[in-house]
Structure 1
Amino acid sequence: MRFTGSRMARAVALLAAVSMVASCGLPRSGPSKRELLAGSVEQDGDAYIVNVTPAVSRATAVQPSFGFSSAFQNAGLVGSDTLASGDMLSITVYENVKDDPLLGNTGQRVSALANVQIDGQGFIFIPYAGRIKAAGQTPEGLRQAITRQLEDQTPDPQVTVARVAGDGATVSISGQAAGNGVYPIEAPTRTLATMLAKSGGVAIDPGMAIVRVTRGRHTGKIWLTDLYEKPGLDIALRPGDKIVVEEDSRSFVALGATGGQSRVPFESETMSALEAIATVGGLSTASADPTGVFILRDEDEAIANAVLGRSDLIGDQRIIYVLDLTTPTGLFEARDFQVRDGDTLYVTEAPFVQWQKTLSAITGTTGAASNIANTANTGN
């Protein structure tokens, strides 16, 4: 009776284990390949399933387009000696008299006016000459203007004007630049590239740096690498320009049977699906299904219509791009397909992994049940 009772207890334990595994979901990293494909529009889901081909890679190879408008690019170089509000000037007047000079004391033929600042309206004040428009002129033009104002009051005045350090023709540099601060526009630093060089360059990886320039109400931005590869982007600067160096903030999310599951920042201006997989440590050799690599994306209307060969789609469309790395050209397709900001890279588990988990759960549960039964029999 004891033997029969023991066998019955084990059978009951086995049935209980199978029932428990059947009724409870096994742990896994996400939906299976079959479950994802079941969400297609063709099966009343809300996502289009698209196998990646060379044509699909070409149609979706769209990256952020940066650049400067014509207003930035058509602006000429600021004259190296053009004066602006805030500039400090050193002005010297030589008078051709000894006894009663206009500006100096008796016997003083040379009068130096140091640290004369051009005011916010662009004017300076010179004794006996009054307010003179200085902003927008060169030092030579201002010299002639001062001479004209004084020549009727003192014989043959000789005037010199020199621009010294001041707050006038300057730009600000901030963000991820190596040297943040306010820099004067001088003869060697009248363009964006030379001004960045003057500030020490950037403090981040140049391949991830974006340069934004704000001028009044207008803003433009470019990749730093493009600045040095495309001379047309090396725009002329204007007083008051704000230059900000930013780090690329684009990222994608990696989930499923990959080497790491996280939000992953881009490491270059462009990133292929193959590079994205490598960035997160590759596919998990113990669990990944190389036929089930998916890129989930909200595709804009124009690209969605092009990819699906339609013209009736309106608004953003959910598209799941499928990569099968086991096909003869699978790795090439993954190399050519571009990942974009906000994408989700998802790798499904191989079917064998779920079988393994099921068997492991059953054997583990029945083993526990057998131990309980044996303990009960021992007690009898």
Structure 2
Amino acid sequence: MILPGCAVLPGTGPKSDAIEATATAGLRSTAALPYALVDVSADTIGFLSQPNLISFQGAFPDKRPKPVQVAGVGDVLNVSIFEAAPGGLFTPATAAGARPGNFVDLPPQAVDQKGNIYVPYAGEIPAAARTLPEIQQAIVARLRNRAIEPQVVVSLNQQHSSVVSVLGDVNTPGVLALNSVGERLLALIARAGGPKYEAIESYVTLQRDGKRVKVLLSRVVHDPNENIFIRPNDVIFVTRESPTFTALGALNQNVFGFNSEITFDTETLTLAQAIGKAGGLSDTQSDPAEVFIYRYEERALLQKLGIDTARFSYDRIPTIYHVNLRDPSGLLLASGFQMRTKDVMYVANAKVVDYYKLLTLINNTANATGNTAAAVTNVNTAVKTRW
């Protein structure tokens, strides 16, 4: 009678037996995932205490103070031609009163798909990928033998080639034209209305020439070297993504009601700080000698640590770091070990906890059996008394 009654007991979903029995097809495997195990010690902490901070400056090492502005296809240019005296190629002899400067303004010239603009009597002038002074000199060279000591001034009317896209979690996303003096990353974000969220919660992804780099916005704000100059056709994408780690195992977070996923609330976080954010180790459950950090580590770093990585197929290698907090120097090592976003921190139970669980199960089973026997006895007594 008891076994069928299990079907009406509370639960959060189907049993594993039911899932396996009703599957149409499946793939089961007993293959273990290969991983590297690294003890955090005096030999390895030197590599693990350095924050793995990807930087714009390191990824885009352009040392020029600012990009050189050049004309591009689609840009619209203003061209003014001056002559030394009236009666020249562009100014008639009677133009002294009407044009005291002896100059003419041409209609705005758009750089065509071939990269040229057209100037009367000079023909097609290559303009794309040239600076404005270079375009001026090219026009003067074409007109030198036809106009009277010609001088040319070229200015930018409309800019369509030197633009930057600012997208994502900014207040006014869009396509922005770069000014002639060059603009830095934070200036473009400010022109796009600024970020919607706090800098510590926002990442900036910069895409340039097929390469993408993502850096925490707060780092760009606090480090002037990360506020790099932006180039034409760059794409800036701002996203809200707070750096977090997952805390599992014998921690006091369950007592205090913390979530398993905990935010850094700062740009860098050490293992000691992470343990503190999770409420500390559970005094009645944890084994301080068995603290682990799970992450996917770069092959190059593991090779520096002395790990043989030839057996691993991918450059991002599953890695488990082990910290022994029973060691008097363990907390010093934990204070130097740098956490990364998406790390998983796990604290194992002390071995005695398994025995405690077994004894608790036996005790509860014995109590349940005794209570059931007592209930049956009471029922029998009640029946005899009734009849």
> How far, CA to CA, are the matches of 1:312 and 1:211 in structure 2?
32
RMSD: 4.4
1:375 to 370, 374, 379: 379
How many residue pairs get aligned? The number is 331
Q: Aligned-pair distance for 1:193?
A: 4.4
Q: Give the direction of change, closer, same or farther, for the CA distance of 1:346–1:122 in structure 2 (3 Å limit).
A: same
Query: What does residue 146 of structure 1 align with?
Result: 139
The 8 Å contact of residues 67 and 182 in structure 2, kept in 1 or not, is answered as no
Q: Give the direction of change, closer, same or farther, for the CA distance of 1:330–1:74 in structure 2 (3 Å limit).
A: closer
> How far, CA to CA, are the matches of 1:209 and 1:218 in structure 2?
20
Query: What does residue 66 of structure 2 align with?
Result: 77
> How far, CA to CA, are the matches of 1:348 and 1:206 in structure 2?
35
Q: Decide which moves more: 164-173 or 311-320.
A: 311-320
Q: Aligned-pair distance for 1:240?
A: 1.8
Q: Aligned-pair distance for 1:133?
A: 1.8
Q: What SS is found at the alignment partner of 1:167?
A: coil
Amino acid at match of 1:378: A
Q: Give the direction of change, closer, same or farther, for the CA distance of 1:50–1:131 in structure 2 (3 Å limit).
A: closer
Determine whether 1:241 maps to 2:234: yes
Q: Which has the higher helix share?
A: 1
Q: Aligned-pair distance for 1:132?
A: 0.9
The 8 Å contact of residues 210 and 222 in structure 1, kept in 2 or not, is answered as yes
Q: Decide which moves more: 228-237 or 45-54.
A: 45-54
Determine whether 1:124 maps to 2:124: no
Q: Aligned-pair distance for 1:153?
A: 5.0
**TM-score (structure 2 length as normaliser):** 0.65
Q: What SS is found at the alignment partner of 1:339?
A: coil
Cα deviations by residue, 1:98-140 (Å, 9 ceiling, x for unpaired): 8x98599x97766543442223433111233321122344434
2:74 to 75, 86, 96: 86
Amino acid at match of 2:377: A
Cα deviations by residue, 1:318-338 (Å, 9 ceiling, x for unpaired): 5462443x6655544433333
Cα deviations by residue, 1:217-267 (Å, 9 ceiling, x for unpaired): 444554445545555544443322223334557654332344246445554
> How far, CA to CA, are the matches of 1:327 and 1:369 in structure 2?
51
> How far, CA to CA, are the matches of 1:157 and 1:59 in structure 2?
65
**TM-score (structure 1 length as normaliser):** 0.66
Q: Give the direction of change, closer, same or farther, for the CA distance of 1:53–1:367 in structure 2 (3 Å limit).
A: farther
Equivalent positions of 1:277-316 (< 5 A) are 277-283=275-281, 292-297=290-295, 314-315=311-312, 316=317
> How far, CA to CA, are the matches of 1:222 and 1:210 in structure 2?
6
2:274 to 264, 269, 276: 276
The 8 Å contact of residues 207 and 268 in structure 1, kept in 2 or not, is answered as yes
> How far, CA to CA, are the matches of 1:305 and 1:187 in structure 2?
46
Q: What SS is found at the alignment partner of 1:90?
A: strand
Equivalent positions of 1:1-380 (< 5 A) are 52-61=40-49, 63-67=51-55, 68=57, 72-75=61-64, 77-79=66-68, 82-93=70-81, 111-150=104-143, 152-153=145-146, 155=148, 159-227=152-220, 231-247=224-240, 251-258=244-251, 259=253, 260=258, 262-264=260-262, 266-283=264-281, 292-297=290-295, 314-315=311-312, 316=317, 319=320, 321-324=322-325, 329-349=329-349, 351=353, 354=357, 355-356=359-360, 358-380=362-384
| Percent identity (aligned) | 27
Q: Give the direction of change, closer, same or farther, for the CA distance of 1:289–1:131 in structure 2 (3 Å limit).
A: same
Q: What SS is found at the alignment partner of 1:202?
A: coil
> How far, CA to CA, are the matches of 1:112 and 1:218 in structure 2?
43
Give 5+ residue unaligned stretches, structure 1. 1-44
